[in-house]
Amino acid sequence: MVRRSLLMSAYDLVIRNGRIATASDVFSCDIGIRDGRIAALGEALGDAGEVIDVTGKWVLPGGVDSHVHIAQPSGEGIVMADDFASGTRSAAFGGNTTILPFCLQQKGQSLREAVSAYHAKADGQCYVDVSFHLIISDPTEQVLGQELPALVADGYPSFKVFMTYEGLALTDRQILEVMAVARQTRSLVMIHAENYDMIRFLTDKLEQEGNIAPRFHATSRPIIAEREATHRAISLAELSEVPLMVVHVSNREAMEEIRRAQAKGLKILAETCPQYLVLTADDLDGLNMEGAKYVCSPPPRDADSQLACWEGLQQGVFSVFSSDHCPFRYDDPQGKLIPRGRTSFRWVPNGIPGVAARLPILFSEGVMKGRIDINQFVALTSTNHAKIYGLYPRKGTIAVGADADIAIWDPEARQILTHSLLQDGADYTPYEGIEVAGWPVLTMVRGQIVVRDGQLQGTKGFGTHLPRELGVKPPAL
């Protein structure tokens, strides 16, 4: 906890000698923090309850991860590895100060009920701030006509729909109905774009041929299934005249669909994730069930897909880089090693942890290797998330009046990624053994230090849920 001196210092805390980067600028100055907010940017700022000298370090806006799954119902006999305490703790260890988890509506459930249930899970548990997106699985008249507009007005202006998965997939007609509500309420639809029938057809065929190992998960969800669905999703959004966020884009063909739509002037936003930069389908090809550790959808692809995702990040096709943190324990019958998963890849829980690894991977592979600059890093990992989803300028930047949500990065630090560093509820990381240059050595939420030098200093329950405004689109869009 940051203490205020009894002699009434001007600031609760001063971060001294920082090299600060925002999405647009790099500058050096001190940051004065008072009552959880940035009160001053200036030289030789005076009196403070506490001073942190950060000479030689980067001072960046805390990461905002707009694609995270926590404590999400995931099917019979399956338990997600993170609750809100462990998920937000892990987020903080990875330099994040806000995350946006999904609140899943189950079939037959009222959306309101789903939201209340998520609040009950999160309240009093969080180390960093959170704000929920909704997942619409059952777009009844009641949901579309009443619940959704009311929830948008209450601060939940973004919702995800799926084109695949039993119990989640919506028909094109249903997606159009959801988009009509988005248009009317000026909210943002996020879409999981994979062709359901292609996947079902290929999965059945693979199983009939006895191809049941985890690596066939990737075979069952080929690039064409993602490309086709991406094209269709964009067409539905064009017809509906709504902006659309295509989440977790994994490859060049889908990325090119998005680029073409953007060039036409459509408001198509897109996201990619670390698994599409540093993993490939070969990772699913481990001995025994080891490949299950990498089962996620869309699956990691190949070297050219990785290159395409980098190009999309460099050229602005992707405005956000998120983790798609969706953790299951590996060595656990309620996780990746659920008994029926041995009978087919179809039953292996779908998703991988990554909320703490996201920023170090992009910092190291992106900034330190010269693929992107520090301003792009900040935009892709923090500012654009805050702008698109309606948290800016309170979150996502370093400016007077903003929340003091700050991550201090040591560019000299080297780490080899391993699960114990990441502090989530899983028992492995798919990024094990990757060496990263640069590390977040301090994470602060609204002026409270949550993690410092690898030690948890925050208080469970300090993180709070943030109702959101309607999103602001980044200037490029």
**Nearest distance, CB of residue 322 and Zn ion, angstroms:** 8
Residues in a beta bridge with 114: none
Cβ 81 to ligand DUC shortest distance, Å: 13
Residue span binding Zn ion (CB under 5 A) among the ranges 86-94, 256-264, 316-324, 430-438: 316-324
DSSP state of 412: E
| Smaller CB separation from Zn ion, 190 or 317 | 190
Give the closest residue to 298 by CA, choosing from 163, 193, 170: 193
217 binds Zn ion (CB under 5 A): no
222 binds, among Zn ion, ligand DUC, none (CB under 5 to 8 A by kind): none
Q: Which is nearer to Zn ion, 67 or 231 (CB)?
A: 67
CA atoms of 67 and 155, how far apart (whole Å): 17
Closest separation in Å from C-beta 194 to ligand DUC: 8
Coil, strand, or helix at residue 452? strand
Q: Which does 350 bind (CB under 5 to 8 A by kind): Zn ion, ligand DUC, none?
A: ligand DUC
Spatial contact of 312 and 277, defined as CB atoms under 8 Å apart: no
Please tell me whether residue 325 binds Zn ion under the rule CB under 5 A.
Answer: no
Q: Which stretch binds Zn ion (CB under 5 A): 174-182, 238-246, 319-327, 415-423?
A: 319-327
Give the list of residues 6+ apart from residue 18 with CB closer than 8 angstroms, or none: 28, 29, 30, 31, 54, 57, 58, 59, 408
Is 192 a binding residue for Zn ion by CB under 5 A? The answer is yes
User: Closest separation between CB of residue 247 and Zn ion, Å?
Assistant: 6
Closest approach of ligand DUC to the CB of residue 211, in Å: 21
Integer Cα distance of 476 and 312 in angstroms: 14
**CB under 8 Å to 117, separation ≥6 — which residues?**
103
Where b means 16+ CB within 10 Å and e means fewer, 440-476 reads bbbbbbbbbbbbeeeebbbeeebbebbebeebeebee
At 42, list the tokens.
């200036």
Question: Of 146 and 219, which has the nearer Cβ to ligand DUC?
Answer: 219
Q: Please report, as ranges, the residues that interact with ligand DUC according to CB under 6 A.
A: 69, 192, 247-248, 296-297, 324, 326, 350-351
DSSP letter assigned to residue 187: -
Closest CB to ligand DUC among residues 30, 194: 194
Q: Which does 98 bind (CB under 5 to 8 A by kind): ligand DUC, Zn ion, none?
A: none
Rg (C-alpha) for the chain, rounded Å, is 21
Considering only 283, 324, 365, 405, the residue that binds Zn ion (CB under 5 A) is: 324
Determine phi and psi for 204, rounding to 5 degrees. -60, -45
395 belongs to the binding site for Zn ion (CB under 5 A): no
Six token digits for residue 108: 């037959």
Nearer to Zn ion, 70 or 111 (CB): 70
Residues in the interface with Zn ion (CB under 5 A) total 2
Which of residues 278 and 450 has its CB atom nearest to ligand DUC in the complex?
Answer: 278
Asked if the bond preceding 298 is cis, omega within 30° of 0, the reply is yes
Q: Closest approach of Cβ 62 to Zn ion, in Å? A: 21
Which residues are near Zn ion by CB under 5 A? Answer: 192, 324
